[in-house]
Structures are given as structure tokens and as C-alpha cells.
Amino acid sequence: MSSPNFQLTPLSKLFSNLKAELKALSRETRVSVDSCVNRILAKDIFAEYDNPPFDNSAIDGFALNEDTKSVTQSFFLREGLLKPGVESNVILKKNEGIKILTGAPIPSGATRIIFKENTKEQDQKIYFAQDDDEENNVRVKGEDFKKGDLLFEKGCQIRLTDLAALIGSGNSYVPIFKPLKVGLITTGNELSSNIERQNSSFIFDTNLIPLKTLLENWGHSVINLGAVGDNLDLLRDKIHDNVELVDVFVTTGGVSTGQEDFVSQFLNKEGKVINWRIAIKPGRPFICAKLKTKYVFGLPGNPVAAFICALVILRPALGRIGGEKNWFKPFSFKTKANFMKYKRPGRTEFLRAKFNQENGFVSVYPFEGSGRLSSLSWSNGIIKLSEMEQNIEKGDFVDFIPYESFF
């Protein structure tokens, strides 16, 4: 059994250890582009086609073959209308024009597309008063990307905003790493998953469904292994019975130093502990260990602490195992504090916070307890106070991380 080390590990040190320890499983498969969001690319993605695939009109108007640029010009109006999706063999001669719709191929000889509202039609002629618009309103073939261009690198997570480029480049199937199979276990004699508590000493299991939803949102496949009471043998059996079925275990509760904190006892006895007890608030009891070839991430039992640890630690750690090239860093921005806070140096703190878009200030939830469920629904993000930060005065700039950065 490993000897417990009660010295707290700085969050930065934990990240360094995890970056060195965790390796991608690198199991590849292919999925249709309509099923690839939040998946991690197993190979570089290159464009199969130019985009746009041909020169086409950016507006509804007239295609013109301009001879000279003058204050006022007139053009002979050719019969017909050029439409998107219809090939055309029209060849415009000097000072000729033809009606064209957005997306239609540019006819041969055209030098410019002009807005219909900038013209006047009369006697089969187009009269155009030159304005200050210097655009030719043509989408040039390959101006977005060309066939063979690198669009996405191996190891990046595909976002909803990437779909258009994947489809438009001809990548209808995408090589991805297989989703991690995450075995999720909540622990505690007091937990009830029923809609009604079994007796007055039970509490609802408020960790299981939020964590399951969060993990699935990140692209993982969750195996719900249910709740386990505070019993070392039951916990051991639950993990050993499923160790070949999952890639990673995530547990909640039982990770501190108490007599019935059986997750930490089990991992110290049978696993290789990477880090235990982190210098963060909330979430100090967090533990990470390797059991045979599988990693176990033990989150605190308090729901706020479990949620924050999931965002801050699980998100990048599971991303690394799942094949992400870069260590995940959430988007954050500096904003002014609408509060005062005393903080001792040496630990990283995450405050539940609400950013006000109207005045640019951020407020914090007035109570810090890790069991206050309403604090999560009240807030729209977290403030990160680094290890060396101390007192925060009203008006000081702080780092705000929107929850959307993690989802």
C-alpha cells in the first residue's frame, strides 16, 4: 500500500504529472460527417475539392463585360437568366450584360457583377451609374480553400462550426479516435437515485446524471455503473468486475482521508497513485491513480466540487487519453470584480460567478459551500484565482471562464 502523502499538490504540478503520464489510446474508426461533432480526429483532414468549386456570383444582379470605367455606362442586355446549379455557355462581349442570381456560374468574359438596384433597364440596355463600390462581387474558385489544403489536424476535436468546411471540402466520412468508454460510479450509503428519498437520512444522487451528461457532451461513451455504498469490498468488486469493459473509471465520493473514504483507500492499496489531494478549492480531495492499465479519476462527493473538478481536470485529462493533440485550455477573459475576496496564496481557487454583459462586472455567489446546488444554476461561469493571487478588491481584473468554454 502506498503511503499517504498529505502534502497538497499544486494544480500546475498535477497538470504536469498528467501530461507526462497520460497517453492516447489511439483506436481509430470512421464515421459519417453527421455523427462526428465532439469526436477527435485520428488523421489530418485535407480538402478534396476547391471551395468555391467554380467562380460564381456573390449577389443577384447583372454580369457585365466592362470595356472602360466611366461615370455612366450602358450595356446591351442579353436574353436569359443565369441560375445556380445550371451550367451556361454564355460568352459576354464587350459592353454586354446578362441577369444573374447568387451562386450562378460566372459567364465567360464577365469582368464584374453589379447590384440590380444600381442599374436601370430600358430598351434592352442596362444603365449603370458608377458608385464607390470597388468589389467585383465574384466568389473566385478556391478563394476559401483549394484541393489538397490542410483543413484540420490530427488530434483536434471537431466542433459544430467545423461541419460546413468538412462537407464543403468533400469529406463525407471522417477518421476519428473511438470514444472513450468511461465507467461512472458514485459512492455513499446516503445516496438515493429514486425520485423520492427512501428515508429522511438519504440525499438525492446529484452527481450521476450531471457527470454522465457532461462526459457524453465531450464525446465519451458512458457506462453507468451506478451507486456503491460505503463498503470497500463492494467497491473493489464493482471496479474489478468492469475493468475489462471500460477505458477509464470516474468515481465520486470517498476520496478524502476518513475512515470510510474507501475509494482513496482502495487506490492507495491496489493502484499506482499519480496524485492525491490537490491545492485547489473546491476539490481538494481529488485523486488520480492507475489500476493495472486503466486510470481512475476520483472526484469529491460534494456536487459543486465534483462538477468543478470535472471541468478543470477531467476535461483535459480525458481529452489527452482520447487522442487530443493539445492539452485542453478553456477560453477565458479579463473582467472587473464586483466583489472583495481574501485569498491565501498557495492554492488555486474557483469561484462560482455571474458575468453581467451590461456593465462588464462579474459577481460571485455569496456562499462558498460545495453542497449548494443552486450556486451552479445561478452562475454562468467560474473565476480562476491562481496560486499566487491574494486579496481581490472591487474593480480588480480577474479571469472569468464561461461554462460554455467547457461544453
Please indicate, yes or no, if residue 269 is contained in any of the structural domains: yes
Pair (133, 231) in one structural domain: no
Q: 58 with 137: CB under 8 angstroms?
A: yes
Quickly list DSSP for 59-112: SSEEEE--S---SEEEEEEEEEEE-TT-----BPPTTEEEEE-TTPBPPBT--E
Which of 322, 346, 364 is where one domain is finished? 322
Which of 268, 287, 322 is where one domain is finished? 322
- Is the pLDDT score of 2 beyond 50? no
Quickly list DSSP for 239-292: HHHHTTT-SEEEEES--SSSTT-HHHHHHHHHSEEEEESBSEES-TT-EEEEET
Pair (361, 380) in one structural domain: yes
Count of helices and strands (H, E) across the chain: 8, 26
Bridge partners, residue 150, by sequence: 46
Between CA 135 and CA 141 the distance in angstroms is: 16
Please indicate, yes or no, if residue 144 is contained in any of the structural domains: no
Please state the pTM of the whole predicted model. Answer: 0.87
Number of domains in the chain: 4
pLDDT value at position 1?
42
Pair (126, 228) in one structural domain: no
Pair (315, 395) in one structural domain: no
Pair (349, 310) in one structural domain: no
Pair (337, 264) in one structural domain: no
- Is the pLDDT score of 242 beyond 90? yes
Find the CATH number of the domain harbouring 113: 2.170.190.11
Between CA 346 and CA 332 the distance in angstroms is: 22
Angle at 183 between CA 177 and CA 187, to 5 degrees: 155
347-382 confidence digits (pLDDT tens): 999 999 999 999 999 999 998 777 788 999 999 999
Instruction: Give, as one character, the DSSP assignment of residue 10.
Output: P
**The three grid cell numbers given for residue 374, joined into one nine-digit string:** 443552486
Please indicate, yes or no, if residue 297 is contained in any of the structural domains: yes
Please indicate, yes or no, if residue 145 is contained in any of the structural domains: no
Pair (356, 312) in one structural domain: no
Q: 285 with 297: CB under 8 angstroms?
A: no
Pair (238, 300) in one structural domain: yes
**Domain range for 97:** 56-139
300-329 confidence digits (pLDDT tens): 999 999 999 999 999 999 999 999 999 999
